Structure 1
């Protein structure tokens, strides 16, 4: 396998590419974020995922600037929070995020949650932000089939990315199938199930067979399903381990056994009841 964390990418419909492994910084305090992002970038990560509501955009931007890595080699994502949704408010919120990041553009801007009555106007704002060149790509987060079908019904531009919780215990197969139909890349947040299921015997057996940890098996499962994965860790050793996914693979038997773990288990926000 000749890929690694710095070179593994998935193609976006617009012609660009998104690194397949990113560092998530949700619930990472500002005083920790800058160092964690710098460590990740120096370890080869080229994709950082933040959001306005995380409160650490400024620290992410500082680390990107201080890393010494050319800006065009780092993929930065941020997101539009719920209370900022609507056309004009979304435009203002994006400007604020860009200013906090201290960057000229973001690589991906996402609607963070499918807020009823506002998500269509928010999407119009994202289309304008993209047209102005301030976001290289635009997409959504926590959008399931009903939310996507509504958006696709009247959007001028289809989302390029949908970021949703995915792991073997919550596989979102119907949403992934719709995204595949329309060329929407799927990003998996909480791919490690927030550490809750690493003692699962299926994962432990698979890990023993390949000489890896259950966490690495979870992440490799996502890679082999063609997902972008954004594990979160501020620990340099854990960041390194989470990126060591290209010197092994899971065989068909292991993938089938892990696929059979589906339980519909959401560990965080659950948009299934969001109209």
Structure 2
């Protein structure tokens, strides 16, 4: 069974002239977990992955796999499997022939070609020309290429893009299986909703800078809003009491949404005013709201 090794980004920076595409990016991806690398389009995710894979030279800092730069790996294709969003295929070549070329170049057992195609569900279409493939099928072929060397580390850029609902469900479970086998799995996406059912950790960047790192649950906690929903059979009287107490609030369908006060404080205001309270509880931001708060309103969901 392939064993994963840590991926480490240390002070990684890339400038294109005056523009900093990635700035002082540092985080570690551990084996046995699925790590989501998130951020809006243009945040610097693909540039970071290209530096990790030796396709772009960093201005400063480093990106290593098990402490080694990609170009210095003794056997890159059996150590790291990568599928970048912009992967291209010869339209006149079959999926099987495409992978055979990769296997020969990487000195990989040719029997792995049909194994990889079977894993991603393309066995039936192995001899079909890639030019006739849908976007989702091309995504699966890219994933087959990443799995060709049975690597311990997987780096996947937007792997869910173009998949149908069945394909999305499949890849979510597949990513979990890869991590459970002890592999290191790093998955980029600009859509939190795509990966939130499959990742253990999230690393979020915006404008090339790290803005959040931690378990998926910490994203909800960090973005939790300091708001409380309170309601009363006499909502007008409750609103008047809150106004008299200089509380900041707005009327919502579920009740009155109060900002900046704790539930106990709101309950006391209602008690002093002699207003009956029918409900009183905190309102938490959802994961998507937390994501937007971190990356700005331009972030994609």
| TM score, norm. by length of structure 2 | 0.35
| TM score, norm. by length of structure 1 | 0.38
Q: Which has the higher contact order (CA 8 A, sep 6+)?
A: 2
Structure index of larger Rg: 2
